[in-house]
Structure 1
C-alpha cells in the first residue's frame, strides 16, 4: 500500500511540474510587452504602451497566419478598434485593397514632419489604397489636436491608447508604417522613411 501511495504522489508531482513549465514557456515565448515611451528622449522615439499578454496579437484562434478567417477577411485584418470620434473600426474593412497603417504619437517630431506627406499620399491614392492612422502613447485630446493642427483628417485615425493594434502588428516605435497588399500580407514594416522613399513604396503598393 505504501508503495502504491508513493507512485501516486510522484505522478501528481510530475504532472504539476509539467504544467508549471508549460506556463513559463507560454510567457517566455510570447512577445514582450513594450514599456511606455520616454517623452524626454533626444530623438522623440518611444515604445508602444504595455498591454496584457496574449491579447490583440497574431491570428484569431484556429486561424493560421496568412489564412483567411471565417468571415473571409485575412487573419492579419482581424482586429477592432475605435476612431477618434468613437466609432467602431474593423480591420476587415481594409480587405481587398492595399493598405497603409501609420503608427504615430502626437508629441513625436518625426510624426509631425511626415504628416503633410502622408496626407498628400492619402489624397493621391484615395479609392486605391486605404490609409489609417494608429495613434497611441498619449491621451485623446492631444491626439485630436495633432490631427487638426497637422491637417491629416482626410483619413481615419484610431485612438489606440492601450496599444492593441500596435502590438498586433509588432510596432514598438513611432513613426512607423505598415503596408499590406490587398490580401492582407505585410509587404513593408518599419520606422519612418524619407518623403521620396515613402512615395515610391506607396506607388509600388498601389500597382
Structure 2
C-alpha cells in the first residue's frame, strides 16, 4: 500500500473517530404496535429507527428488522479483522438466518471497495448499508471497526463491542434459544 493511501486511510479513520454526534436520518413513522394477542407487526424500538442505502443504492428502513434479534456488524472494506469475520457472518446467516437478522454497516473506504469486500468474501446473502457519512455509526456510538451491536427481539442493545467468532456464536445461540 502506498504512503499516500495509508495517509488517506488514517485521515479518514481520524475523521470518523472524532465526528460529532449528529442524528441519523429520521425514519418514517412506524406502524402502530399490534394490539395484545393479535398477530400484527412488531413495535419499532428506537434502536431500529434509522434508514440508509444498501451498497447497491436501494433504500433500507431498519424498522423492517423489528421483532427478531438483530446483529449489526460495523465494518470497513480495508479492515483485516472484518475480513476474517466474514466467514462467521456467513455461517451464522446460513444456520440462524430464519430466526435473526444480520445487517452489515460499512463505513469509510468508498462504495467500490465495499462492493469488492462483499463479493470477495462472499457475504452477499447479508444486506449491507453504505454508511460512508457515518450517521448510523454515530447513532450507535461506534468509533472503530470491527464492532458488533446485538439487539434482542425487543430492540434492546445486549452487546456493543468487538467479539471473536466463538463469542459471537455463543451470543447468537443464547438469543435464538
TM class by shorter chain equals 0.7 to 0.9
For residue 201 of structure 1, what is the aligned residue in structure 2? Answer: 171
Q: Which of 64, 73, 94 is the aligned partner of 2:65? A: 94
For residue 142 of structure 1, what is the aligned residue in structure 2? Answer: 113
The 2-side partners of 1:204 and 1:53 are apart by: 32
Deviations 1:82-118 (A, max 9, x none): 0011111111111000000000000001001111111
For residue 54 of structure 1, what is the aligned residue in structure 2? Answer: 22
Structure 2 stretches lacking a partner, 5+ long: 1-6, 33-42
The 2-side partners of 1:70 and 1:155 are apart by: 25
Structure-2-length-normalised TM-score: 0.80
Contact kept? 2:21, 2:138, Cα under 8 Å: no
The 1-side partners of 2:87 and 2:169 are apart by: 12
Structure-1-length-normalised TM-score: 0.69
Count of residue pairs the alignment pairs up: 158
3-state SS of 1:122 partner: helix
Mapped pair 1:179 → 2:150: yes
The 2-side partners of 1:38 and 1:178 are apart by: 27
Mapped pair 1:165 → 2:133: no
Structure 1 stretches lacking a partner, 5+ long: 1-36, 61-67
Question: Which structure is higher in RCO with an 8 Å CA cutoff and minimum separation 6?
Answer: 2
Distance apart, 1:51 and its partner CA: 5.3
Q: Which of 74, 82, 89 is the aligned partner of 1:118? A: 89
RMSD of aligned Cα (Å): 2.6
Distance apart, 1:53 and its partner CA: 4.3
Distance apart, 1:126 and its partner CA: 1.2
Contact kept? 1:133, 1:155, Cα under 8 Å: yes
Task: Single out whichever of 94-103 and 72-81 deviates more from structure 2.
Answer: 72-81
3-state SS of 2:78 partner: coil
Cα gap change, 1:70 to 1:102, in 2 (>3 Å): same
Q: Which aligned runs of 4 or more in structure 1 are off by greater than 4 angstroms?
A: 50-53, 68-71
For residue 98 of structure 2, what is the aligned residue in structure 1? Answer: 127
